[in-house]
């Protein structure tokens, strides 16, 4: 078990680089991961089941006891990111599946890698995890609704199917994980140390599958604007998330948590739903987002951490983290 944990920590430390290298490898040799394309929903289910195993009933009690910062962060996430995605599509004149893909990733719940970034930055990880949990639980309603509102002009939105799929892919694995944790308690906690490694492998497999499915269309005139759009989307999300948290007068650790929660998306869910309900090209924004937000998040977390060290302010992040990269 200890060797697996050590391997997970090593992979976690170099995960951003591994994501970039693995994406490049699958672009050159797409046949490596083509067989995974029909199975991406199962891989995402594994990630979310692992997330559920790390949650306790106390996590939901924490939301109930101090709901305002959690609700504020969740509302900010679901207002800022989809609206930004829609505006960027208008500004850059994106059309069809590409525009739908940008709005899809913008409408996803927050990514679990945000908790890792919040931890590294000295943010309030307990708040981060609470927002992440609530935004994920709301995804079956929020995601189809936001897509219908913002992306209906670009593609047909199968709202009922999206709702049912999101319930099946997102809610069922999380609820099952929470139930098992509640029933078996410490026995489950003994295996949670290996979950980051399992999630990291599953995420790499999803990225490989999406790259393989889209290798012929990744760098074409039709998708050339996706990279700058994704970068602006993510960075603007950070900026507006921070300004919002400052506007409502949250403390510095809470500002950091909300910044990451607003700006980082569950891009694995976006890629999974894009492949299932739209053309493969709609998964390209989610794939690029998955790579880019790890790079930008790592840089921002390092900046905040170094700044805190320079100012000789002790940084004591709260809570436990579940290290994945959605």
| Maximum C-alpha span of the chain | 54
Provide the terminal-to-terminal Cα distance of the chain, rounded to the nearest Å: 24
Average pLDDT of span 189-199: 75
Find where tokens 């089941």 sit: 49
pLDDT digits (tens, 9 = 90+) for 136-182: 999 999 999 999 999 988 888 998 999 998 888 888 888 888 888 88
pLDDT, residue 1, reads 52
- The Cα 168–Cα 229 span in angstroms is 30
- Given a contact cutoff of 8 angstroms between Cβ atoms, the answer to whether 174 and 144 are in contact is no
Residue 12 pLDDT greater than 80, yes or no: no
**DSSP state string for 44-70:** HHHHHHHHHHH--HHHHHHHHHSHHHH
DSSP-based three-state secondary structure for 265: strand
d(CA 201, CA 155): 32
Q: Six-digit token pair at 69?
A: 């910062």
Cβ within 8 Å of residue 90, ≥6 positions away? none
Tokens 């809610």: give the residue.
171
Q: Which of 260, 264, 282 is nearest to 273 (CA)?
A: 282
- Give me the chain's average pLDDT, please: 84
The model's pTM is 0.81
- Interval 115-122 mean pLDDT: 80
pLDDT of residue 310: 67
Task: Give yes or no for a contact between 174 and 326, defined as CB atoms under 8 angstroms apart.
Answer: no
What span, in angstroms and rounded, lies between the C-alpha atoms of 136 and 170?
A: 7
pLDDT digits (tens, 9 = 90+) for 60-99: 777 777 788 999 999 999 999 999 999 999 999 998 889 9
The residue among 92, 106, 94, 91 whose CA lies nearest residue 149 is 106
Could you tell me how many helices (H) and strands (E) the chain has, helices first? 16, 0
Give the tokens for residue 60. Answer: 């939901």
Short-list 198, 242, 199, CA closest to 80: 242
Reduced to 3 states, what is the DSSP secondary structure of residue 225?
Answer: coil
């Amino acid at each position: 078990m200890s060797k697996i944990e050590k391997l997970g920590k090593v992979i976690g430390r170099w995960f951003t680089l591994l994501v970039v290298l693995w994406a490049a490898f699958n672009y050159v040799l797409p046949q490596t991961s083509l067989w995974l394309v029909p199975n991406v929903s199962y891989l995402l289910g594994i990630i979310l089941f692992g997330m559920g195993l790390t949650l306790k009933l106390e996590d939901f009690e924490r939301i109930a006891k101090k709901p305002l910062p959690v609700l504020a962060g969740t509302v900010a996430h679901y207002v800022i990111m989809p609206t930004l995605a829609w505006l960027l599509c208008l500004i850059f004149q994106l059309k069809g599946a590409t525009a739908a893909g940008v709005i899809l990733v913008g409408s996803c719940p927050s990514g679990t890698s945000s908790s890792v970034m919040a931890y590294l930055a000295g943010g309030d990880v307990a708040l981060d995890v609470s927002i992440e949990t609530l935004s994920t639980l709301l995804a079956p309603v929020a995601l189809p609704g936001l897509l219908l509102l913002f992306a209906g002009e670009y593609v047909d939105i199968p709202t009922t199917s999206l709702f049912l799929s999101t319930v099946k892919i997102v809610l069922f694995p999380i609820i099952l994980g929470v139930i098992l944790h509640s029933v078996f308690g410490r026995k489950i906690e003994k295996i949670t140390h290996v979950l980051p490694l399992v999630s990291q492998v599953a995420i790499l497999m999803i990225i490989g599958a999406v790259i393989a499915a889209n290798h012929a269309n990744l760098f074409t005139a039709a998708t050339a604007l996706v990279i700058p759009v994704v970068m602006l989307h993510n960075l603007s999300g950070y900026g507006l998330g921070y300004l919002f948290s400052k506007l409502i007068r949250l403390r510095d650790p809470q500002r950091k948590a909300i910044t990451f929660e607003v700006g980082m998306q569950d891009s694995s869910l976006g890629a999974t739903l894009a492949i299932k309900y739209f053309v493969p090209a709609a998964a390209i924004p989610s794939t690029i987002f998955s790579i880019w937000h790890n790079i930008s998040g790592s840089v921002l977390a390092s900046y905040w951490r170094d700044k805190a060290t320079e100012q000789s302010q002790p940084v004591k992040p709260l809570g436990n983290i579940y290290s994945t990269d959605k």
